[in-house]
Amino acid sequence: KKADAAAAGVEYVEEKVEEALEDEAPDAEDEEDAEPMDEEPPKVELDDEEKRETFRKSIVPDLTSYALNTSFMKFAVPDKDEGFDEVSFDWGKEGKCREFLKQWKQQLKTTTRIEELTPGEWFTNRWKDWQKALQSWHMKQHLYKASVAKKALDRAAMLQRRAATAAARERLMEMRAEKAAADKAVAEKAAAAKAVTEGETGEAAGEKKAEGAPAEKPAEEPSVEEKEPDSDEDGDDRVDFDRLDVFGVEDALDVGGGEPLFSAFGFEDWTMMSLRFELHLLVHAFKRDVNDPDRIGIHVEHLSFYYNKYFKKPLNHKFYGCEVIQELLDLTRDTVFVNRKSKVVEAQLPEEMDSAGIFIMLTEEARRDRVARVDLGDQSARLKLSQP
């Protein structure tokens, strides 16, 4: 090595391999101090659930959620007809593999969302009809309240005029009494003076004067004949609204005397009625638009996604004073509910109905129940909507 280095014209550096090996060699004393392992390493034990697992679950998925949602329907078990020389099933028989894939796809149909889903014509028409009806109902309530307010003002004015007339009559009676007393005093004084002059007694003169004096015509009293507005005027068929059977009315727009069933609705009632209809419409429209019997409905986790896709607005459960979406659905359990087994949102009402008045009835019934519970001291019954 020295000769090679000299021939190459470089300085030879002696390698200290032996010293390095000696440094790396374990000390005999350390080996004596090391205690032998008496116990064997622990063995991995799988529980029943882990033993049933066919595939290892990875923390990072193979596909993104969007890619999986849009492509899993195309997944299939390979077949020889596709050009393969041989298809082997090492982990399970072919029948079980196909059944596993079928169940897996069925589960994904329930738990995944359809990214490309668009609202159909049926939904669009029903949504437009609802908006028109809702607008007309708001106008109906406005006109009814204006009519009630006008009648109240007319009645107040009538009572004020009657009070003024009664006061005028009372004053007139007082004036009459004062004038009669004054006239009597004057007559008695004149009669006494005449009796002294003519030598007649005051009593005889007074009787003669009274007999000969013409009767004084009483002053006319102010007219008080004015018809009192009756509470049932222009509405003889009005009913006791508080005792009305909500689900027994024939016409929700006129339960009697022109009063609609939603006459007492406030902001929160109109909002909750709209939510009831929207969730009802969404559940039925989804089934129509997917047109797949295997998709049994909207999973509760994807309700906000489809609500935004159909109505072009977010479903914010915190706006309704709810911490989670399930609390919001509890407020509308008379219209939709969550299936405990499949976690799918299902409708309480049929798809086709003669009238949307049922949503007025449901909301009025909920309003009455809420008011009754609050009156009994249950403050949790109050709605906590965020008013604009």
- Average pLDDT on 302-328 reads 94
- Average pLDDT on 2-22 reads 55
pLDDT of residue 58: 79
Say whether 6 sits in a helix, a strand or coil. Answer: helix
Looking at 24-38, 135-149, 209-223, 291-305, which range is the least confident one? 209-223
- Average pLDDT on 180-200 reads 79
- Average pLDDT on 311-340 reads 94
pLDDT of residue 200: 52
Could you give the CA distance from residue 369 to residue 333 in angstroms, rounded to a whole number?
A: 14
pLDDT of 27 > 60? The answer is no
More confident residue, 239 or 60: 60
Contacts 24+ apart (CB under 8 A), 77-86: 77/101
Which amino acid belongs to residue 115? E
pLDDT of residue 232: 47
Give me 332's structure tokens.
């509308």
**Residue 343 near residue 301, CB atoms below 8 Å:** yes
Q: Which helix (H) or strand (E) holds 131?
A: helix 121-198
pLDDT of 24 > 70? The answer is no
More confident residue, 200 or 99: 99
pLDDT of residue 5: 58
DSSP-assigned letter for residue 27: P
Could you give the CA distance from residue 130 to residue 353 in angstroms, rounded to a whole number?
A: 13
**Residue 191 near residue 202, CB atoms below 8 Å:** yes
More confident residue, 251 or 9: 251
- Average pLDDT on 36-50 reads 77
DSSP-assigned letter for residue 9: T
**What is the model's pTM?**
0.66
For the four alpha carbons of 245, 247, 248 and 252, in that order, the dihedral sign comes to positive
For residue 231, what pLDDT band results from cuts at 50, 70 and 90? very low
pLDDT of residue 237: 61
For residue 37, what pLDDT band results from cuts at 50, 70 and 90? low
Give the Å distances, CA to CA, from 34 to 39, 40, 59: 15, 16, 39
> Mean pLDDT across the chain, nearest whole number?
81
**Residue 260 near residue 266, CB atoms below 8 Å:** no
pLDDT of residue 370: 94
More confident residue, 47 or 140: 140
pLDDT of 244 > 80? The answer is yes
For the CA atoms of the chain, what is the radius of gyration? 48
pLDDT of 320 > 50? The answer is yes
Say whether 338 sits in a helix, a strand or coil. Answer: strand
For residue 285, what pLDDT band results from cuts at 50, 70 and 90? very high
pLDDT of 298 > 50? The answer is yes
Contacts of 16 (CB under 8 A, 6+ apart): none
Q: What values do phi and psi take at 145, rounded to 5?
A: -65, -35
pLDDT of residue 373: 93
Percent of the chain residues past pLDDT 90, beyond the cut: 36
pLDDT of residue 36: 61
The edge-to-edge listing of strands for the beta sheet with 336-338 is 298-299, 344-347, 336-338
Give the Å distances, CA to CA, from 23 to 27, 33, 139: 9, 19, 97
pLDDT of residue 365: 95
Could you give the CA distance from residue 380 to residue 387 in angstroms, rounded to a whole number?
A: 18
**Residue 6, Cβ density class (10 Å: 0-12 exposed, 13-18 middle, ≥19 buried):** exposed
For the four alpha carbons of 149, 151, 157 and 160, in that order, the dihedral sign comes to negative
